[in-house]
Chains A and B, each alone.
Chain A
Amino acid sequence: MHLPLEDRLGMNLLAANQHQAEHNREHFEAWQVLALNVMSSPGAGKTALLERSLPQLAQEWSMAVLEGDMTTQLDAERLEAVGIPVVPITTGRSCHLDAAMVSGGLKLLRQRLNPNQLDLLWVENVGNLVCPAEFEVGEHHKVALLSVTEGEDKPLKYPLMFRQADVVLITKIDLLPYLPVELEQIRRNIHSINPNASVIPVSALSGEGIDVWHAWLRSARQNTLQPALAMA
């Protein structure tokens, strides 16, 4: 017997993950913490960006990092060295963080500090341009990184990541003089798949563009959390 199927019906495969993500987000809202999910291919410079940004941002905000890594705690150690609380989440065979793993990380974090004191929570995802885009963790914004050494075509080859991102950082721009790569072409490709994305070229090495990136963060924090503040 077949029941009539309406087009809008159907249980979403990711329903359980989305539910957990919404639960995480409720915590972030209650704590008034802006949560950012940082994603890129392996080695595009997520940890290097945080190493550059966090010491500067620590002058205005209290922050913590959930550090997703498949097997090692190397990145967590690099960021602890900066003086920011880091909770490593080893994902094992899974090539992305999901909302339940982040929830586990939050439990550990709460053993170390009072989350109400936090202003910003960073989630460094596993280096992977494919499925982290599909698994929400409760973040307010998705931050995607693309290094200039990866080539202009990557937004077109991994469209989902760049479509889902709210902001795309084009990283390692200090290397541009040595590469046959056009920054404008990368930007055009990102905007073809996602015309609403903010695109910010940066170098964690030279510091170029970092102030623009920090300005984006300030306005994101204001615009995202202000309505909740007004209601409180």
Chain B
Amino acid sequence: MHEVDMTKCLLLALQQWREEQASPQAMVDTIHLEVGRFTCVEPEQLRFTFQAAVAGSWLDGAQLQIEEIPFVGRCLACNGTYSPTPEGAYRSPCCDHPLEEIVSGRELRIRSIDYRTSLQSAVESQALSLQRV
């Protein structure tokens, strides 16, 4: 269910990108997303709700390219990294340490957008920098 809200967030971010960075005629080919495994977002669900939400809008036809980022923790006892699992209670298998530092897995970001400024033009790609709305 919350993928609907996540899709709204995504559309908001894309709208803002169009207003601030791209030309108003920008046509989006592909949106490259990073989705961490330790977030509440299911990539399949997100793709599905996104396709339904953009039908008929300026984003109709745009594809979501989702890269899943693994959940990685750092064991503060030995400084090694590991994959926290529910079966292992998210503790480090090396030293049985609780999950302290999260190295990756919390990502929810638009990495870049492939778009063209007119039907004829070549596809350009723009990396987005972390910015305040």
Instruction: Give bound CA distance, A2 to B114, whole Å.
Output: 8
Q: With A and B bound together, what is the CA distance between A159 and B17 in angstroms?
A: 32
Q: What is the bound-complex CA distance between A14 and B9, given in angstroms?
A: 6
Q: In this assembly, does B13 line the interface, its C-beta being within 8 Å of a C-beta of chain A?
A: yes
B130 touches which of A8, A94, A157, A192 (Cβ 8 Å): A8
The residue of chain A having its C-beta at the shortest distance from the C-beta of B16 within the complex is: A16
Q: Give CA–CA (A160, B91) in the complex, Å.
A: 14
User: Which residue of chain A has its CB nearest to the CB of B110?
Assistant: A11
Task: Say which residue of A10, A96, A192 sits within 8 Å of B111 (CB atoms).
Answer: A10
Contacts of B132 in A (CB 8 A): 15, 19
A17 within 8 A of B: yes
Q: With A130-B40, A191-B98 in contact, is A98–B5 under 8 Å at CB? A: yes
Q: Is the CB of B2 within 8 A of A192?
A: no
Determine if B108 and A3 form an interchain contact, defined as CB atoms under 8 angstroms apart.
no
Say whether B99 contacts A131, CB under 8 Å. no
| Chain A residues closer than 8 Å to B2, beta-carbon distance | 95-96, 130-131, 134
Cα–Cα distance between A189 and B99 once the two chains are bound (Å): 11
Q: How far is the CA of A195 from the CA of B90 in the complex (A)?
A: 11
Instruction: Determine if A193 and B122 form an interchain contact, defined as CB atoms under 8 angstroms apart.
Output: no
Q: Is A215 an interface residue (CB 8 A)?
A: no
Closest Cβ of chain A to B49, distance in Å, is 12
Contact A11 B131 (CB under 8 A): yes
Whether A230 is near chain B, meaning CB under 8 Å from some CB there, is no
Residues in B whose Cβ lies below 8 Å from that of A98: 5
Measured CB to CB, the nearest residue on chain A to B76 is A195
- From B12, B89, B91, B109, A16 is in contact (CB under 8 Å) with B12
> Are B125 and A16 within 8 A (Cβ)?
no
| B128: min CB distance to chain A, Å | 4
Mark each residue of chain A from 1 to 35: 1 if its CB lies under 8 Å from any CB of chain B, else 0.
Answer: 11111101111111111010000000000000000
A binding-site residues for B, Cβ under 8 Å: 1-6, 8-17, 19, 93-96, 98, 130-131, 133-135, 156-157, 159-160, 163, 188-189, 191-195
Which residues of B does A touch, CB under 8 Å? 1-2, 4-6, 9-10, 12-13, 16-17, 33-34, 38-40, 86, 89-91, 98-100, 107-112, 122-133
Ordered by A's residue number, 20 sampled pairs between the chains whose C-beta atoms are within 8 Å are A1-B123, A3-B112, A5-B112, A9-B111, A9-B128, A10-B109, A11-B17, A11-B130, A12-B109, A13-B9, A15-B132, A16-B12, A96-B5, A131-B2, A134-B39, A159-B90, A160-B39, A191-B98, A195-B98, A195-B99
